[in-house]
Amino acid sequence: MEYFVNLVASGLVAGSVYAMIAMGFAMIYRATGMLNFAQGELMMLVAYIAFGLASTFGANLPVLLAGVFVAAILLGLLIERVFIRPMMGEPMFSRVMVTIALAVVIRGVTILIWGQEPYAMPRLLGTELIRIGPVSFYPAQVWTLVMVAVLCVVTWVFFNRTRFGVVMRATANSESTALLMGVNVRLVSAVAWAVSACFAAAAGLAFAFMFSVEPDMSSMGLRAFPAAILGGLDSVLGGALGGLVIGVVENLAGGYLGRGLKEIAGFLLIVVVLMVRPYGLFGQRHIERV
C-alpha cells in the first residue's frame, strides 16, 4: 500500500507541471479559440529568466516570484500585441502557425543567451524533506502541489465570480456576438495571453526547482497537451485535472508495468477517453441543429 501511495503522490507532483501547462493551453483556447503551441517554450523562457534572476542577481524567493510573474505578464502582453493581434481575423490555421513559429523563435533566443547545457536552479525553497504520512516530499514538490491548488481556486473564482471572467467566457462562446455586445475583444485576448504566461511561469518555476533548467524542458509543452485534451480544451480547471490524472497514470504504469511504458501511458489514456468523450472530461459539448 505504501508503494501505491508513493506512486500516486509522486505522480501528482509530476502531473502538477502538466496541469499548469494545460491550464495555459485552455486559457488561450477558451478566450480566443486558438491553440498556443509555444506554451512549452514560454515555460522554458520564464524558467531561464528565473534562473538568471536567482543565480546571476542572487534574488531571494519573494523577489524571484515578483520578477518572474511580472516578466511573464509582460511577455504574454508582448506576444499578443506583436504576433497575435495582427493575425486577428486571419484563418485559424495561420494563427496557429504563428504560435509554432513563435516556439522556434523563443527556443532559439533562449539557447542563444543561455546555451544548451542544463543548469541546477539555486535551492531557494530549501532541501529538508517534508514527511506527510508515508510519503516524503522536497519543499519544491509541496510548493508545486500548493501552486496548482491555488491556481485552480483563483481560476474558478475568476471565471465564475468576476465580471471580466464572464466576459471572457462570453467571448470564447461567440467572438462576433461579444463584439456586437460591446466587449473589448482585444483586451480579452491580451489578458488571456498574460494569464496564460503566468500559468507557464508557475510551471517553469516548478520544473526548474524540481528538475533542472534546460532547453529540452520545452518538450513538456507537448507532453502536457494530452492533459489539456483530456480535461477538455476549453476547460481551464479540466486541464488541471487532466494533468494530475496523466501524472498519476504515468507513474502507476512506470511503477507497476515498467518497460518504458511510463511515457506512453498518458497518451494511451487519451485515446481511450476521447473515444468515449471526444470533447474531454470537462469540455463543452457543441451541438449544432441542422
Partner 1 sequence: MKRKTFKVAGAALAALIAGAAAAQDVGVTDSEILIGEVLMLSGPAAFIGKSAAAGSKLAAAEINAAGGINGRKLKVLYEDDGYVPARSVSAMRKLVDVDKVFAVTGTTGGSGVTAVLPVLDDAKVPTIVHVAPNPTVLNPRRPSIFMIGPDYDLAAYQSIRHAVEKMGKKGAKFGLIYQNDDYGKSVLKGYQQAMKDFGLNSVAELPYQRGAKDFSAEALRFKSAGVEVLYLGTVIAEAGGILSESRRLNAEMTVLGNWAAGLPATIRLTAPSGYDYLFNDYYAALTDPAGQKFVESAKNHLSADEVASLSRYAVSGYVAMKVMGEAISRCGKAVTRPCVIAELGKLKDFSTGGLSGPISLDNPAGHAVPALKLFQVDTKTSSVKALTDFATK
The one-letter code for the residue type at 123 is R
**Which of 263, 268, 277, 278 contacts partner 1 by CB under 8 A?**
263
Per-residue string for binding with partner 1, 98-117, x by CB under 8 A? Answer: -----------------xxx
Handedness of CA 256, 262, 268, 274 (dihedral sign): positive
Interface with partner 1, residue 207, by CB under 8 A: yes
Residue 127: count of CB within 10 angstroms of its CB: 8
- Grid cell at residue 111: 539557447
Q: Considering the rule CB under 8 A, would residue 86 count as an interface residue with partner 1? A: no
DSSP state of 285: P
DSSP three-state, residue 44: helix
Q: What are the angstrom distances between the C-alpha of 145 and each of 29, 150, 164, 197, 243?
A: 24, 9, 27, 19, 12
Considering the complex, state which of residue 44 and residue 167 has its C-beta at the smaller distance from partner 1. Answer: 44
Say which amino acid occupies 80.
E
CB of 46: closest distance to partner 1 in angstroms? Answer: 17
- Between 27 and 224, CB nearer to partner 1: 224
Q: Is 55 in the site for partner 1 (CB under 8 A)?
A: no
Q: Among 120, 146, 154, 181, indicate the residue that binds partner 1 (CB under 8 A).
A: 120
Among 3, 78, 162, 277, binds partner 1 (CB under 8 A): 3
Is the Cβ–Cβ distance between 211 and 252 less than 8 Å?
Answer: no
* Minimum distance, C-beta of residue 258 to partner 1, in the bound complex (Å): 6
In the region spanning residues 14 to 33, those forming contacts with partner 1, defined by CB under 8 A, are 14
Extract the C-alpha cell encoding 41: 517554450
Closest CA to 95 of 163, 175, 23: 175
Q: CA 20 to CA 224: how far, in whole Å?
A: 9
In whole angstroms, give the CA distance from residue 39 to residue 199: 9
Which helix (H) or strand (E) segment holds residue 157: the answer is helix 139-161
Decide if residue 260 touches partner 1 (CB under 8 A). yes
Region near partner 1 per CB under 8 A, out of 30-38, 65-73, 90-98, 246-254:
246-254
> Nearer Cβ to partner 1, position 56 or 94?
56
Judged by beta carbon, residue 254 or residue 280, the one nearer partner 1 is 254
Interface positions, 162-181, toward partner 1 (CB under 8 A): none
Backbone angles phi, psi at 229, to 5 degrees: -65, -45
Rg, the chain, Cα only: 19
Q: Does 7 bind partner 1 (CB under 8 A)?
A: yes
* Residue 211 interacting with partner 1 (CB under 8 A): yes
Does 131 bind partner 1 (CB under 8 A)? Our answer is no
Asked if 249 interacts with partner 1 (CB under 8 A), we say no
| Backbone angle region of 232, left / alpha / beta, with phi > 0 → left and psi within -120 to 50 → alpha | left
The stretch among 118-126, 167-175, 233-241, 271-279 that binds partner 1 (CB under 8 A) is: 118-126
Contact residues for partner 1, defined by CB under 8 A = 3, 6-7, 10-11, 13-14, 115-120, 123, 127, 129, 136-138, 207, 211-212, 214-217, 219-220, 250-255, 258-260, 262-264
